[in-house]
Chain A
Amino acid sequence: QKEVEQDPGPLSVPEGAIVSLNCTYSNSAFQYFMWYRQYSRKGPELLMYTYSSGNKEDGRFTAQVDKSSKYISLFIRDSQPSDSATYLCAMAGDMRFGAGTRLTVKP
């Protein structure tokens, strides 16, 4: 079993939809949780960073962490074609990344 599991998708949604991206993990030592967005031919860009259970909101993005269930989510509201990218979850202690979910938002 991998330490971090992320559905690779691909995920395709219409513009304006709410997108839910999810990761599960097995190592309870992870204390910090991140979401990265990676556009084609670019490096991953930090979207969200949190270290506690609960929700953290930033504009159209909400990161949710449930340490008891070892589950993290990223919600994107009112999705836009510019949100089309690969989204990677990451967690630390020792940094671990999910495989990434490829998202396409269709106009």
Chain B
Amino acid sequence: KAGVTQTPRYLIKTRGQQVTLSCSPISGHRSVSWYQQTPGQGLQFLFEYFSETQRNKGNFPGRFSGRQFSNSRSEMNVSTLELGDSALYLCASSLTLEGSPLHFGNGTRLTVT
């Protein structure tokens, strides 16, 4: 069974630009979560989608948004990029909302210059 696939693996953007990251979950998984990982802050929860609906949102500014499609694939968008947005963005999928373990992709490494 294929794992969680994230594209692209690496991105370099300049301040003020916007970026879209893509995630394909494990087949049959309906829940997709996004996390930001930085050395200083660890894993920080961005948002969670289930059946195309956002179920939970972390404490990030409105510049961070996401969506989920009917095939469970998900995208997240960051607008007006800031230097502090440089991080590893991880997508994780799970079978259900609660109790199922998360399965992570290898992330998109975003560098903002």
Contacts and interface: CB of A to CB of B under 8 A. Distances in A.
Interface of A: 31-32, 34, 36, 41-46, 49, 51, 88, 90, 92-95, 97-100
A31 B45 CA distance: 19
Nearest to B99: A32
Contacts of B104: 36, 43-45
Contacts of B98: 92-93
27 contacts: A31-B99, A34-B101, A34-B102, A36-B104, A41-B106, A41-B109, A42-B106, A42-B107, A43-B6, A43-B90, A43-B92, A43-B104, A44-B104, A45-B104, A46-B102, A46-B103, A49-B101, A51-B99, A88-B43, A94-B56, A95-B33, A95-B45, A95-B102, A97-B43, A98-B42, A99-B42, A100-B43
Interface string B82-113: 00000000101000001101111111010000
Contacts of B42: 97-100
Nearest to B102: A95
A87 to B, nearest CB: 12
Instruction: Determine chain A's interface SS by DSSP, over half rule.
Output: loop
Nearest to A4: B42
Contact of B105 (A34, A43, A51, A98): A43
Contacts of B92: 43
A34 B101 CA distance: 7
Nearest to B4: A43
Nearest to A44: B104
A32 to B, nearest CB: 5
Contacts of A93: 98
Interface in B50-64: 56
Contacts of B103: 46
A2 to B, nearest CB: 10
Nearest to B35: A97
Given A31-B99, A34-B102, A41-B106, 9 more contacts: A36-B104, A43-B4, A43-B105, A43-B106, A44-B104, A90-B102, A97-B42, A97-B43, A98-B42
